[in-house]
Amino acid sequence: MKVLVGPAPLTPREVVAVARHGAAVELTSDALEALARARVAIEALAEAETPSYGVSTGFGALATRHIAPELRAQLQKSLVRSHAAGAGPEVEEEVVRALMLLRLHTLATGHTGVRPETAATMAAMLNARITPVVHEYGSLGCSGDLAPLSACALALMGEGQVRVDGVLQPAADALAKAGITPVELREKEGLALINGTDGMLGMLLLALEDLRDLLDVADITAAMTIEALLATDRVFAPDLHALRPHPGQQVSAARLTRILRDSPIVASHRGPDCNRVQDAYSLRCTPQVHGAARDTADYCGIVAGRELASAVDNPVVLDDGRVESNGNFHGAPVAYALDFLAIPIADVASISERRTDRMLDVHRSHGLPAFLADDPGVDSGHMIAQYTQAAIVSELKRLANPASVDSIPSSAMQEDHVSMGWSAARKLRRSVDGLRKVLAVELLTAARALDLRQPLLPAPATAAAVAALRVHVEGPGPDRHLAPEIAAAEELILSGTLLAVVQKEIA
């Protein structure tokens, strides 16, 4: 797959393809024309006697200084070098690639004023799988993701460090091996390369990609638990959910119905003799919680779509050739979405943990052995697996606290209100990872509980989920080392195998 990068917005699928799967990129002819046209406006300002921000002045609180023509190339280099001031652990390769692609798209809109060859060099780096080293800390989510983007711009100049196939090396060496000539920055180019919301947007798009699959997985693990606890599927009927027409709720309810279709376990206690009047909220209200999470993800996807259609820089080159300062680099719109998404992630994990706990409690599990242990007292079963869930859920609740309500003034009070969107994005990635682990424990526990319900059998879809897990994890028996089994269940989710085998049954 090759992703064409031009003035038109990229799609989330294209961003994921380049960031996560290494798809190649190519600048379109429209992009090259737009780049050349905007560059004319910047060069006219460079020759003018009147100072122009970012072209012939300093930056931020130093914007009042007029820079002499012979120092302007040095100005751009100094900007990038000084702003590549990140610290902490390295950021993941897929995040850096998303960051670079999204900045490349903004360059390709023709609103930044960089030269076509500068954009082409960034595209060549992506295609050569040269990944600049970007550090965890350094962005306040305002005036762009400055330190992360500066690390990428530094590599474009042939400075700093990069990774190629995971191997750390000087950027100059990696560019030389790939036959890429480092960029000699000209007026405005350093500023244009670092002034965007690309890091936080890239992480939002990657999180949405993961979360949509995880919400489908959550419906699967919930259905398995509903069977294991002898709960009813009648509460998922479409006429009930039509009374409260939230779209995500209706999707989850319909999925639960399909997953539980033809379940002998559910059929075994359906009828007038059933004494189960109402199931616990963690079972009965699954569509309401999972559905609200879906709706939140859809809203955040709308925000991401708007940002994908944006050209974020300061100053910008307008279509009529004017170059104007603006505040579009402020990350608030994306930061709020990133923070918002962490809330339902924490809640979906919380309801999963509650369902798991019910299967382990002999007073609420309707005939299952205590903690699903082979010999309760001698064996602990899945007791501590639920502790692990609880620890993660507690962490997810902390991660759901918003980063975007914080602001630390910088640049001598010129940048006196910032979004902290990068921080919101970083904690969201940890939230997504935590949810996957919580669902893995529910999958592991529900599969064990369903095996213990034999000779009653689960639905074809949930039986397929159990069978897929049993390829890697043995069925009920005496206590075993549980951590590798949790990891195996998580990998089954991460690989997409669990979704695939269930989807085949419910399609």
Alpha helices in 276-360 (DSSP H): 281-284, 286-308, 332-360
346 dihedral zone (left: phi>0; alpha: psi -120 to 50; beta) = alpha
- Is 336 annotated in the active site? no
Inter-residue contact 195 to 325 (CB < 8 Å)? no
CA distance 414 to 409: 8
Residue with tokens 């300002």, as numbered in its chain:
45
Which residue in 53, 137, 281, 387 is the catalytic one?
53
Give the list of residues 6+ apart from residue 295 with CB closer than 8 angstroms, or none.
246, 247, 248, 249
Query: How many Cβ atoms are within 10 Å of 232's Cβ, its own excluded?
Result: 18
CA distance 298 to 301: 5
How far are the Cα atoms of 195, 196, 327, 421, 430 from residue 199, in angstroms, in the given order? Answer: 11, 8, 17, 9, 15
CA distance 178 to 127: 10
Q: What is the DSSP letter of 68?
A: P
Q: Which two tokens stand for residue 450?
A: 């369903």
Q: Which amino acid is at 19?
A: A
CA distance 316 to 191: 11
Establish whether the linkage from the previous residue to 478 is cis, with ω within 30° of 0: no
Give the list of residues 6+ apart from residue 472 with CB closer than 8 angstroms, or none.
485, 488, 489, 491, 492
Q: Is the dihedral of CA 131, 132, 135, 140 positive or negative?
A: negative
Burial, 370: exposed, middle or buried (Cβ in 10 Å; 0-12, 13-18, 19+)? middle
Half-sphere exposure of 218 (CA within 13 A, CB side): 39
Inter-residue contact 458 to 263 (CB < 8 Å)? yes
Q: Is the dihedral of CA 438, 439, 442, 443 positive or negative?
A: negative
Nearest to 11 by CA among 19, 291, 131, 431: 19
Q: Which residues are catalytic?
A: 53
